[in-house]
Amino acid sequence: MNYDIQKIRSYFPVLHQKVYDKPLVYFDSAASAQKPIQVLMAKEKLHNDYYGNIHRGAHFMADKTTVQFEEVRDKIRNFINAESREEIIFTKGTTESVNLVAYSFCEKFVKEGDEIIVSEMEHHANIVPWQLAAERKKAKIVKLPFNDLGVLEIEKLPSLINQKTKLIAVAHVSNVLGTVNPVSEIIELAHENNVAVFVDGAQAVQHLQIDVQKLDADFYAFSAHKLYGPNGVGVLYGKKKWLEQIPPYQGGGEMIAEVSFEGTTFNQLPLKFEAGTPNITSVIAFGAAIGLIIEIGLQNIEEWELSLLEYATSKLKEVQGIRIYGEAPEKSSVISFNIEGIHFYDLGVLLDKMGIAVRTGHLCADTVMQHFGINGCVRISFGLYNTKAEIDIFIAALNKVRLMF
């Protein structure tokens, strides 16, 4: 594989530093990825060259900014192979994307007694908005369970779907277990029963090539900041037929066609769902992040990360008292674990003091913690810039910590 890791790492100046006098090992990209210079430069360039509010100015600055902003929409359309640019909505993150669909879709299509199926391995952001909607509509949330390997029990799905089922919410990749869920199969089964599917792709887009048309997903959401882009920007892909039918989520500028006190008409897609001045700078910088991903190639990234996953998993399995949560055959580069006799917080604190950034706690996935009967765990996650040498440092640190207890 032709993967120039040194060159790639050189794009991320932040990685080349010492933390507590130790070289930084950043194993928390699943929480948020570091930003390459291309992204930082794009932000700066925008403000140095021309900046204006988009879609409404009849002047040079606004025009230039609008063109760049809309180019990113096209880039994203290509990136996930959506059928049209109208299906790409900018939000402030995956969480807002979920909330938008949970509000607007349920407002239109869910009524009292209806059911929404949510998988047991979801991030809180793909549970709570559905619960709020269900409460508002007096609908019911139905759990799609997973087994102890961290694999969804989709053989149970046919018995969970009935006349009242309106939507299934599922992660493409679990943020705790790393499981790559069989969303194609789920969507196929759902569509046979006229059920829509919302896919949380927050942990998938940075690792896997996504084709929303091939998947036939009704909605697909992700965040820029996990895809090496800036914070505060997310994407909601929605099939045009749904986006046209469901009501706006928030009111404000941009999303209207005409406003009067007698009544307001709404703008065309995608602006119907983009009330107010969006995060212009970050959207444009996000374009630079996607550019870099395309340049390196998602397939190369995936291959590289899977080799890290395999290496780290085999090394971790040699550590005494280890328990890994999530051993699905189809897995992405996330490993959650506990070591017997050592609290995850203690482990996280000590690794931090050795320069290694990991995530600890319930990982915003209480239902996964409950499944395994734990209060939390440690998670390491890899990005396109991590190396096997870093895994060796991590394993040595882990063994050092073990001796302290």
Partner 1 sequence: MTIEEVQQEIIAEFSVYTDWMDKYGYLIELGNELKELDPKEKTGQNLIKGCQSRVWLVAEMNDGIINFRGESDAVIVKGLVALLLRVVTGRTPKELIENDLHFIDDLGLKQHLSPTRSNGLLAMVKQIRLYAVAYNKIAG
Where along the sequence are the contacts to partner 1 (CB under 8 A)? 20, 342-346, 348-350, 353-354, 360-362, 375-376, 400, 404-405
Task: Provide the minimum distance between the beta carbon of 403 and partner 1 in the complex, in angstroms, as a whole number.
Answer: 10
Q: 293-302: long-range contacts at Cβ-Cβ below 8 A with a sequence spacing of 24 or more? A: 293/79, 293/206, 293/227, 293/228, 293/384, 294/79, 296/3, 296/8, 296/384, 298/207, 298/208, 298/209, 299/209, 300/1, 300/2, 300/3, 301/206, 301/207, 301/384, 302/207, 302/208, 302/209
Please choose, from the candidates 266, 244, 270, the residue with its C-alpha nearest in 3D space to the C-alpha of residue 256: 266
Q: Cα-flanking dihedrals φ and ψ of residue 224, to 5°?
A: -70, -35
Query: What's the rounded Cα separation, in Å, for the pair 156 and 148?
Result: 15
Q: Select 173 or 397, whichever has its Cβ closest to partner 1.
A: 397
Shortest reach from residue 98's CB to partner 1, in Å: 20
Please, what is the minimum distance in Å from the beta carbon of residue 365 to partner 1?
Answer: 11
Active site residue 106: no
CB of 370 to partner 1, least distance (A): 14
234-238 and 256-260 strand pairing = unpaired
Beta carbon of residue 285, minimum distance to partner 1 (angstroms, whole number): 25
| Residue 323 backbone phi and psi in degrees, to 5 | -135, 115
Nearer to partner 1, 116 or 127 (CB): 127
- Nearer Cβ to partner 1 (1/404): 404
Q: Which is nearer to partner 1, 298 or 357 (CB)?
A: 357
| Residue 258 Cβ vs partner 1, minimum distance, rounded to whole Å | 45
Pick 141 or 364: Cβ nearer partner 1: 364
Between 69 and 344, name the residue whose CB sits nearer to partner 1: 344
Please, which residues have CB within 8 angstroms of residue 7's CB and are 6 or more apart in sequence?
none
Which entry of 364, 374, 393, 395 is annotated as an active-site residue?
Answer: 364
Residues annotated as part of the active site = 364
